[in-house]
């Protein structure tokens, strides 16, 4: 069997059984939806509605701005109450500009045009996907259309759909594969058309036999020889983009490159399902599957949630809190973000909420000095040396951080999980990245400035030479005449 992890990784307790006992259910539209305009990676969307406007479910309320951005649609029907800054569950609690909509209870909706993907050429299909506000639903929320555009430029690309949901607690992709396998595969076929790809592999971890069975069943019905299913062993972080790509192709994504450099494009299974819903039913990305779990909640399960619903509503749907929480996490227990409060909206990135009691969390004591045991480099799936990076991050030695591959860190947290000195390594690396990114950007800009300077010099020289040549010509003709 192919392994996703050639080095490092951890075997962790999945904690996924409780949330997958019952089928998912669609929860009622909230009384008020809070929709941040920057809930995707890239430039924020710009508002297309005014305060007091009446909006329908599925109506465009934020337009994508710039190359990497995503549009936003209303998840409920009602009136725009405000366009103001509100706290959001990302950005470390700093507020973002949100469109706040009051539900009028009418549930009236507007659907996009139903599109047969075969009638569109890849470029037009890409534009249509962009109009649906589709972003990567694995957690990073990278807008899908620009990703596809980059993939279209690569020759002979293959598609990978990531269903290897490796992080503890999260089971929304598992549930989606069990219940909406047809949508996922329909999305796969649409994406194959958009990329003109000849191969598509759906990667599923072997701790999700029900999901795999459902997907295989749907695949038999679909009968498309381009699509295949690959089962990989359950090792955290087998579901990382790079790890999944290695499992399928046996190749590594270059350190400074993108998956398309080795002819691969990787998307989450949820993204594929969202694309199928948008094309076949005209429903833009206005709801998503969210796992609500943890020992601190009475009924764990998967909920189909309208975006903008308050997290406290989800907890209420799940029978409320049980016991006093140690932490409320968005995401899993390894890479999740700790939320300061539950009065925050569900966004496109919200795959899971863990209401964690102290027993749910990996015990963490007081940080002690590094003893250079090397456990972290044994555990690192990206083949880095976290103990060295830790050293250089402490002294802010950007040159050494770059040379030791800080940008290749996927922030999976394996290093601090195994650290006997309880050093929060992944957090340190996350904090160190912005300064290094700034430096790399400055270098890139200096390179471009130099190119422009040199081409300008060459241009001035050329113009001068042309002028001289013309002058000489003129002089010659004058002497010839004279």
Angle between helices 181-195 and 209-222 (to 10 degrees): 60
Residue from 169, 115, 162, 157 nearest 137 by CA: 162
Decide if 9 contacts 236 (C-beta within 8 A): yes
CB of 76 vs another protein, minimal distance in Å: 24
Nearer to another protein, 92 or 118 (CB): 92
> Residues of 415-431 as b/e, b for ≥16 C-beta within 10 angstroms?
bbbbbebebbbbebbee
For 263-280, what is the HEC assignment?
Answer: CEEEEEHHHHHHHHHHHH
Helix H or strand E segment including 439: helix 425-481
In whole angstroms, what separates CA 99 from the centre of its chain?
22
| Structure letter (DSSP) for residue 143 | B
CB of 94 vs another protein, minimal distance in Å: 8
Nearer to another protein, 281 or 452 (CB): 452
- Please give the Cα distance from 197 to 283 (Å, whole number): 25
CB of 92 vs another protein, minimal distance in Å: 4
CB of 62 vs another protein, minimal distance in Å: 16
CB of 272 vs another protein, minimal distance in Å: 20
Q: Alpha-carbon dihedral of residues 239, 241, 244, 250, nearest 10 degrees? A: -150
Nearer to another protein, 23 or 340 (CB): 340
Applying CB under 8 A, the residues found at the interface with another protein are 41-42, 68, 90-93, 140-142, 335, 337, 349, 411, 430, 433-434, 437-438, 441-442, 445-450, 452-453, 455-456
Nearer to another protein, 339 or 356 (CB): 339
- Please give the Cα distance from 335 to 271 (Å, whole number): 20
CB of 56 vs another protein, minimal distance in Å: 29
Hey, is 304 helix, strand or coil? strand
- Please give the Cα distance from 357 to 298 (Å, whole number): 12
For residue 247, give both structure tokens.
């499992």
CB of 127 vs another protein, minimal distance in Å: 20
Exposed, middle or buried, 207 (CB in 10 Å: 0-12/13-18/19+)? Answer: middle
Nearer to another protein, 79 or 433 (CB): 433
Helix H or strand E segment including 205: strand 200-205
Q: Under 8 Å CB-to-CB from 152, ≥6 apart: which residues?
A: 122, 123, 126, 194, 195, 196
For 57-109, what is the HEC assignment?
Answer: ECCEEEECCCCCECCEECCCCEEEEEEEEECCCCHHHCCEEEEEEEECCCCCE
CB of 322 vs another protein, minimal distance in Å: 28
Nearer to another protein, 38 or 360 (CB): 38
**Please, how many CA atoms are within 13 Å of residue 290, restricted to the half-sphere of its CB?**
32
Nearer to another protein, 46 or 249 (CB): 46
Nearer to another protein, 451 or 473 (CB): 451
CB of 447 vs another protein, minimal distance in Å: 7
CB of 46 vs another protein, minimal distance in Å: 16
Residue from 32, 41, 36, 86 nearest 61 by CA: 36
Nearer to another protein, 292 or 409 (CB): 409
Nearer to another protein, 64 or 188 (CB): 64
| Structure letter (DSSP) for residue 28 | P
CB of 301 vs another protein, minimal distance in Å: 26
Nearer to another protein, 50 or 92 (CB): 92
CB of 450 vs another protein, minimal distance in Å: 4
CB of 61 vs another protein, minimal distance in Å: 21
Nearer to another protein, 198 or 452 (CB): 452
Residue from 234, 266, 286 nearest 14 by CA: 234
Nearer to another protein, 188 or 328 (CB): 328
């Amino acid at each position: 069997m192919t392994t996703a992890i050639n080095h490092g990784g951890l075997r962790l307790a999945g904690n996924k059984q409780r949330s997958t006992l019952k089928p998912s259910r669609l929860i009622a539209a909230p009384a008020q939806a809070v929709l941040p305009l920057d809930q995707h990676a890239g430039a924020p969307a710009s508002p297309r509605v005014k305060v007091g406007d009446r909006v329908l479910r599925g109506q465009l309320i934020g337009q994508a701005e710039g190359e990497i951005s995503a549009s936003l649609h209303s998840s409920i029907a009602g009136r725009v109450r405000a366009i103001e800054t509100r706290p959001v569950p990302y950005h470390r609690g700093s507020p973002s500009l949100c469109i706040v909509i009051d539900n009028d209870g009418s549930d009236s909706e507007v659907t996009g045009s139903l599109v047969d993907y075969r009638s569109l050429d890849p470029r037009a299909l890409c534009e249509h996907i962009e109009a649906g506000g589709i972003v990567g639903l694995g957690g990073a929320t990278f807008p899908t259309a620009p990703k596809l555009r980059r993939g279209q430029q690569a020759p002979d690309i293959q598609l990978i759909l990531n269903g290897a949901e490796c992080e503890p607690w999260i089971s929304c992709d598992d549930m989606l594969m069990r219940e909406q396998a047809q949508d996922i595969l329909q999305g796969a076929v649409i994406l194959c058309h958009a990329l003109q790809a000849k191969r598509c592999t759906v990667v599923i971890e072997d701790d999700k036999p029900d999901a795999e069975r459902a997907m295989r069943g749907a695949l038999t019905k679909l009968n498309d020889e381009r699509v295949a299913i690959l089962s990989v062993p359950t090792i955290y972080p087998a579901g990382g983009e790079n790890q999944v790509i290695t499992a399928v192709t046996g190749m590594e994504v270059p350190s400074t490159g993108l998956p398309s450099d080795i002819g691969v494009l990787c998307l989450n299974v949820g993204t594929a399902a969202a694309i199928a819903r948008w094309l076949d039913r005209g429903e833009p990305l206005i709801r998503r599957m969210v796992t609500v779990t943890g020992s601190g909640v009475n009924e764990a399960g998967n909920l189909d949630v309208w975006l903008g619903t308050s997290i406290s509503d989800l907890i209420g749907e799940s029978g409320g809190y049980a016991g006093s929480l140690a932490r409320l996490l968005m995401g899993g227990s390894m890479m999740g973000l700790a939320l300061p409060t539950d009065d925050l909206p569900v966004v496109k990135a919200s795959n899971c909420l863990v209401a964690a009691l102290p027993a749910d969390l990996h015990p963490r004591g007081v940080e002690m000095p590094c003893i250079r045991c090397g456990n972290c480099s044994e555990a690192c799936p990206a083949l880095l040396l976290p103990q060295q990076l830790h050293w250089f991050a402490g002294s802010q030695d950007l040159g050494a951080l770059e040379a030791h591959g800080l940008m290749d860190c996927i922030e999976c947290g394996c290093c601090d999980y195994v650290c006997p000195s309880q050093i929060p390594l992944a957090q340190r690396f996350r904090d160190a990245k912005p300064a290094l990114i700034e430096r790399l950007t400055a270098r890139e800009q200096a390179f471009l400035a130099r190119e422009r300077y040199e081409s300008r010099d060459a241009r001035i020289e050329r113009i001068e030479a042309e002028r001289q040549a013309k002058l000489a010509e003129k002089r010659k003709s004058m002497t010839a005449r004279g």
